[in-house]
Amino acid sequence: MTEEVCGLRTPYLLFIGDCTEPGYAKTAFGLRDWAGDKCVGEYALPGATVSTGLPRMDPAEAAARGAKSMVIGIANSGGRIAPQWLPALEMALAAGLDLVSGMHAKLGDLPGLREAAEISPGRLIDVRQPPAELPVATGRKRSGKRLLTVGTDCALGKKYTALSIAKSFAARGVASDFRATGQTGILIAGAGIALDSVVADFAAGAAEVLSPDNFDDHWDVIEGQGSLYHPAYSGVAMALLHGSQPDVFVVCHDPLRTHVLGHSEFPLPDIEQVVELTIQLGRRTNPAIRCVGVSLNTSALRLDEANDLLAREAVRLRMPVADPIRRGDLFDSLVENCLAP
């Protein structure tokens, strides 16, 4: 179903343009790290100094090796597509590859690209574009199990945590799907819905479509968006919570963040506040909702500081507290808590 929702054809060729700043190639690195089995190689222009380490090849060669899409792996500030990339993008279309972008600018709005797509077998795909005919949510209880990552704020590890849990589920032989709600997640999963781009009346409906009925022991691991305490994105978080009807949720938090990113007059809520409010509101569509743990992004702390903090918070909050990157043993107990009956 979600293949239809987004319709990405894999495997990918990763386009890194003439990039010289690794920070801008986050999308390409994310795909290499989380969807390496879906990547046949990278295509760089002369002048590029950044590399994913994947084999270099041009679109025709990638197509010959089975690639179905070329993904723009660069997200520079402003989300623009550089004019000097256009010949390379047209070459991909001519080679029969779909051209896939998670940027704000629509591919079809670029001069010449729409025309190039019309005369070539490849399609233009903007993954931020939600499907056209989303339904209004019904609230009907669906079969299967669902996990949602929520947060004390935006941009502190909700996607990373969901991907880590889905990977851990897979390693344990638990049937599961990572359900992407943002552009990078969609590229990694090869499917999903950019929830922030859905018209407000259909946002909960989109979340319902994203995690349809499934086998009773199947888990959808749903990437969270926004935060119930965010002055701009609380509506998205609310719609995603009600539409996802999660059985369990994990709270993601950055221990060094004190205020909402970009909104310095809004203090971050406590983890406990987020746990309580998520249960209070989530009960509306799943009375059995429970919190199974906290995912802390401790990347800015020394290992001994991180260990101290993880231990202290686990005692204080009386639940598993882990960093998906560090101390796999703690993360294991968080994952086991999801699966506890």
Per CB under 8 A, residues contacting a second copy are 136-140, 195-201, 203-205, 228-229, 231-240, 242-243, 260, 263, 265-266, 277, 280-281, 284-285
Return the number of the residue (25 or 150) whose C-beta is nearest a second copy. 150
Find out whether 197 and 241 touch, Cβ atoms under 8 Å. Answer: no
Return the number of the residue (97 or 237) whose C-beta is nearest a second copy. 237
For the chain, the first-to-last Cα distance in angstroms comes to: 28
Return the number of the residue (10 or 211) whose C-beta is nearest a second copy. 211
Could you say which DSSP state residue 107 is in?
Answer: G
The distance of closest approach from Cβ of residue 28 to a second copy in the complex, given in angstroms and rounded to an integer, is: 25
Could you say which DSSP state residue 300 is in?
Answer: T
CB atoms within 10 A of CB 60: 15
Say which residue the tokens 């799943």 belong to: 286
Nearest 5 degrees, angle CA 88-CA 91-CA 93? 115
Return the number of the residue (3 or 201) whose C-beta is nearest a second copy. 201
Return the number of the residue (69 or 225) whose C-beta is nearest a second copy. 225
Find out whether 324 and 160 touch, Cβ atoms under 8 Å. Answer: yes
What are residue 125's phi and psi, to 5 degrees? -130, 115
Which residue in 116, 65, 81, 124 sits closest to 100, CA to CA? 124
Q: Crossing angle, helix 328-339 and helix 158-171, to 10 degrees?
A: 80
The distance of closest approach from Cβ of residue 87 to a second copy in the complex, given in angstroms and rounded to an integer, is: 31
Find out whether 336 and 329 touch, Cβ atoms under 8 Å. Answer: no
Return the number of the residue (6 or 198) whose C-beta is nearest a second copy. 198
The distance of closest approach from Cβ of residue 263 to a second copy in the complex, given in angstroms and rounded to an integer, is: 5
The distance of closest approach from Cβ of residue 136 to a second copy in the complex, given in angstroms and rounded to an integer, is: 5
The distance of closest approach from Cβ of residue 284 to a second copy in the complex, given in angstroms and rounded to an integer, is: 6
Find out whether 181 and 195 touch, Cβ atoms under 8 Å. Answer: yes
Return the number of the residue (170 or 238) whose C-beta is nearest a second copy. 238
* Number of residues written out for the chain: 341
Return the number of the residue (150 or 195) whose C-beta is nearest a second copy. 195
Find out whether 103 and 81 touch, Cβ atoms under 8 Å. Answer: yes
The distance of closest approach from Cβ of residue 282 to a second copy in the complex, given in angstroms and rounded to an integer, is: 11
The pair of structure tokens assigned to 98 is: 């779909």
The distance of closest approach from Cβ of residue 181 to a second copy in the complex, given in angstroms and rounded to an integer, is: 11
Residues with Cβ within 8 Å of 155's Cβ and at least 6 positions away in sequence, in order, are 261
The distance of closest approach from Cβ of residue 230 to a second copy in the complex, given in angstroms and rounded to an integer, is: 8
338 CB burial (10 A radius; 0-12, 13-18, 19+): buried
Return the number of the residue (43 or 229) whose C-beta is nearest a second copy. 229
Torsion of CA 295, 301, 303, 305, to 10 degrees: -90
The distance of closest approach from Cβ of residue 153 to a second copy in the complex, given in angstroms and rounded to an integer, is: 13
